[in-house]
Structure 1
Amino acid sequence: MRYDTNFRCIRDEVSLGEWEARVQLAACYRLVDLFGMTDLIYNHITVRIPGTEQLLINLYGLLYKEITASSLVRIDVEGNILWKPETDYGINVAGYVIHGAIHKARPDVASVIHTHTRAGMAVSSMACGLLPLNQTGIRFHGRIGYHDYEGPAIDKDERDRLVRNLGEHNALILRSHGLLTCGPDIPQAFNLMYQLEMACRAQVDAMAARTELIVPSDEVLARTVHLYKPGTRRPYGVLEWPAMIRLLEAEGAKSGFPHYAT
């Protein structure tokens, strides 16, 4: 069995668009690890290869901090593997059941991120869901979907219900499970996941304090939500992405793992 992580670089074997997508996706995996949003080898992030209906996803067995541009697997929306490195690692079925459904139903979505963080799982287990307790949480008020738990996401019959519960939103709480965000590109999907994770952590901390919680007025909630819509001021994540890459480069130099863009 071959389970090494020394993958040859395929930069010259794919289109420029695919390579750039691979580099951004590998960077996103590393950033999710850097910000403490990983769960061993589980979970997945996908991106659509520009100009195609094909997706890139991680090998099932690698740590996020091990993922490189050349280790990513090319699949179709039904989960059929079109190309992968020479390794016995495969892909996680739940990766294409969840992600493939969204990519197929939402042509506006280029990237999907799914996590099992401690705070995300905690809020996903609360009947109240995500509360608008602070500015970070308020941006999701009325702009997040909820999907009831049906067991591990390996049944394609669940796809229609998942897509229906996401609706036109770019954030979804999978009850008793975890978090999901999506967006028109990787930077926006990542930024949304970061904000959702921070909102969940803040809610868990506030509720653990066992004191009366404050919720702003409906007028303030509506105004805040409007101001954080991508089309109101700016698409959040695009301006932040170069800074995230600089952070990743600085941290990567100390990690000892292969550079993500190889």
Structure 2
Amino acid sequence: MTSAEFMSEQAVREDLAAVYRLIARFGMDDLIHTHVSARLPQEPDKLLINRYGDLFREVTPESLLVIDHDGDQVRGTQAPINTAGIVIHTAIHAARPDAMCVVHTHTVAGVAVSCLDEGLLPLNQTALLFHGRVSYHAFEGIALDRDEQVRLVADLGTNNTMILRNHGLLTVGRSVGEAFGLMYNLEQACKMQLAAMAAGAKLVIPPESVQARTVGQYDADPDGAAGLEWQALRRLAAMAF
């Protein structure tokens, strides 16, 4: 049993609401669109997701809805839920028992990189966090059809990062904090890549041996950076806009 499975529902609600507010704070929201979900630790077939129509900065622990893997709201007053959010998130949570949290964004930088044939390039240490671990899913139109779920899950495989072609970014975490940390860094890597490409000069890509070494250094995390980062982000999320 993972540490996430010992969390209370309220703790998960608080973490997930913090992610919504952080996405808004860092400018990664898209009005009322896109979505973040978290599995309920004591009910693994149930998910928390946002109420469609709320701005991300408005999301609170209490406003999050509980849905099952069929996308049906199973508690509380019925409220609108983004259909694309249901299709994408229920598919991944159902297929990946390790998926505690799934984050999906439509940022300018993320969508721009999703439109590039080469996708994410291993240009810098931020991008190398994802070395060999990025999946790609072809654009099939707005994710409203359930039959796309099979292909979406197959393309993601065991990776925790996926670029949805012509669409946006998606990350999966064993915890809410891990999923957000991956998304923040993926967004930064996309921004850095576009800035480097805009210079119009020849790009310098580290050799494969350095790429592999760098991702190994991230995995080792000798300073416990991931945990410290999420604690700091929770403090930031608690601050007023």
TM-score (norm 2): 0.93
SS at match of 1:132: coil
Runs of 4+ in 1 over 6 A off after TM superposition: none
8 A contact 1:137–1:196 mirrored in 2:
yes
Asked if 1 retains the 8 angstrom alpha-carbon contact of 2:65 and 2:73, the reply is yes
- Residue aligning to 1:65: 57
Q: Specify the SS of the correspondent of 2:181.
A: helix
- Which structure 2 residue ranges, 5 or more long, are not aligned? 1-6
Distance 1:51 1:73 in 2: 16
Pick one of 13, 38, 42 that aligns with 2:33. Answer: 42
Q: Map of 1:31-180 to 2, 5 A cutoff?
A: 31-52=22-43, 53-85=45-77, 89-180=79-170
Corresponding residue SS for 1:190: helix
> Is the alpha carbon distance of 1:78 and 1:237 closer, same or farther for their aligned partners in structure 2, counting shifts above 3 Å?
farther
Whether the 8 Å contact between 1:171 and 1:180 is mirrored in structure 2 is yes
| Partner in structure 2 of residue 248 of structure 1 | 237
CA 215–101 in structure 1, closer or farther in 2 if over 3 Å, else same: same
Q: Distance in 1 between matches of 2:238 and 2:91?
A: 33
Report the Cα offset of residue 242 of structure 1.
1.2
**Structure 1 residue 110 displacement after superposition:** 0.4
* Unpaired stretches in structure 1, ≥5 consecutive residues: 1-15, 256-262
Question: In the alignment, does 2:198 pair up with 1:208?
Answer: yes
RMSD: 1.5
Distance 1:71 1:249 in 2: 16
How far 1:235 sits from its partner (Å)?
7.1
Instruction: State the shift of 1:139 in Å.
Output: 1.5
Matched residue, 1:21? 12
Q: 1:114–1:148: structure 2 CA closer, same or farther, 3 Å change rule?
A: same
Does the 8 A contact of 1:47 with 1:57 survive in 2? yes
Residue equivalent to 2:209: 219
Normalising by the residue count of structure 1, what TM-score does the alignment of the two structures yield? 0.86
Distance in structure 1 (CA, Å) of the matches to 2:171 and 2:235: 23
3-state secondary structure, aligned to 2:211: helix
Structure 1: distance between partners of 2:224 and 2:76 = 33
Indicate conservation of the 8 Å contact 2:131/2:215, yes or no: yes
Cα distance, 1:146 vs. partner?
A: 0.2
1 CA distance for matches of 2:88 and 2:207?
35
Distance between the aligned counterparts of 2:225 and 2:161, measured in 1?
A: 14
Aligned AA (1:93):
T
Deviation (angstroms), 1:185: 0.6
**1:195 maps to 2:193:** no
- How many residues in Structure 1 have an aligned counterpart in Structure 2? 234
C-alpha distance in 1 between matches for 2:115 and 2:41: 36
Tell whether the 8 Å contact from 1:192 to 1:237 is kept in structure 2 after alignment.
no
Task: Provide, for residues 49-105 of structure 1, a one-character-per-residue CA deviation record: whole Å limited to 9, x for no partner.
Answer: 11211000001100000011111110001101112446xx40001111111111001
* 3-state SS of paired residue (1:146): strand
Shift of 1:227: 1.7
Q: Between the two proteins, what is the percent identity of the paired residues?
A: 50
C-alpha deviation, 1:233, in angstroms: 4.2
How far apart are residue 160 of structure 1 and its match? 1.1
